[in-house]
Structure 1
Amino acid sequence: MRISEVTAHSGVPATTLRYYEQLDLITSTRASNGYREYGPEVLERLSFISVAKKMNLDLEQIKWLLQVTATGTCTNTRDALHPVLADRLREVKDSIRRLEELKALLERSLEHVATCPDSSEPCQSECAFKALI
């Protein structure tokens, strides 16, 4: 497949395909006219990359995982992938916890600010954030 066909089938822009090729995430050969030619396996690799990116894995991790899946058994792949996913899940849970704490602080702040009295005087401490800490 030419680069335009890969783009049409995968939705991945040609610039991204070239970048992935520079990083050795995908490969192509050169036709006699100089055009890149991709094998059918590139679509599967692009799908793998897409899912891994949705999990917020970085491109180095993705490259390593692609190498493991290409050269290893299912057992090796599972054993390599499991700790990566477990670490990522821990990171996401920590992010969710921090976001929940932020949400609670914002909700308290919003309630607090809503009760501030109308006044043409300079703001007193009862409306300041420091009252919430």
Structure 2
Amino acid sequence: MLISDVVARASIPATTLRYYEDLGLITARRSPNGYRTYDESVLDRLAMIEAAKQLNLSLPETAELLLVVDSDSCTQVHEVMHPTLQQRLRDVDERLASLQRLRDRLAAATRRVAACPDSGDSCRSECALLTDQRLNCTTTSPAHEGTRTR
């Protein structure tokens, strides 16, 4: 297949194919006129690269996987990939927990801002930004010092 055939069948840009070739992820033969030619197996290889991308594997990790797939048994592929995927899963769980904490802080700040009264007086920024349980909007004018505006 010519590069245009692979591009059409795999729905990826020619520049990506060339890049993957430069990285050694795929190989192409050269015809006498210098055109890249690929055999049908390149489509399976591209599908595997795409699957690795969807798992957020880096290109070096993908290259390692492809080397193992090319030369080793399923057992060895398992031994290489299982720890990598387990670590990736732990990383995602940590990011999810961090995002949940952020979401909780945002929700609390949203509730505090919503609870602040409409007032022409100055409102302390702590109403929205700090996480103490008993933060309230208070006026800072001397006539209302120490009183709540709620």
- Shorter chain as denominator, the TM-score bin is over 0.9
**Could you list the per-position Cα deviations for residues 64-104 of structure 1 after superposition, in whole angstroms to 9, with x for gaps in the alignment?**
11000000011111111111111111111111111111111
Aligned residues: 133
Counterparts of 2:114 and 2:53, CA distance in 1 = 41
CA RMSD of aligned residues (A): 1.4
Taking structure 1 as the reference length, the TM-score comes to 0.94
**Could you list the per-position Cα deviations for residues 6-55 of structure 1 after superposition, in whole angstroms to 9, with x for gaps in the alignment?**
11111111111111110000010111121110111111111111111111
Larger fraction in helix: 1
Which position in structure 2 is the counterpart of 1:58?
58
Contact 1:31–1:37 (Cα < 8 Å) also in 2: yes
Shift of 1:126: 4.7
Which position in structure 2 is the counterpart of 1:14?
14
Which position in structure 2 is the counterpart of 1:88?
88
- 1:78 has 2:52 as partner: no
Taking structure 2 as the reference length, the TM-score comes to 0.83
Q: Give structure 2 stretches of 5+ with no counterpart.
A: 134-150
Secondary structure class of the residue paired with 2:27? coil
- Asked which structure has the greater RCO (Cα within 8 Å, sep 6+), the reply is 1
Call closer, same or farther: CA 1:76–1:131 in 2, change over 3 Å.
closer
Q: Give structure 1 stretches of 5+ with no counterpart.
A: none
Give % identity: 45
Which position in structure 2 is the counterpart of 1:5?
5
- Which stretches of structure 1, 4 residues or longer, exceed 4 Å deviation after superposition? none
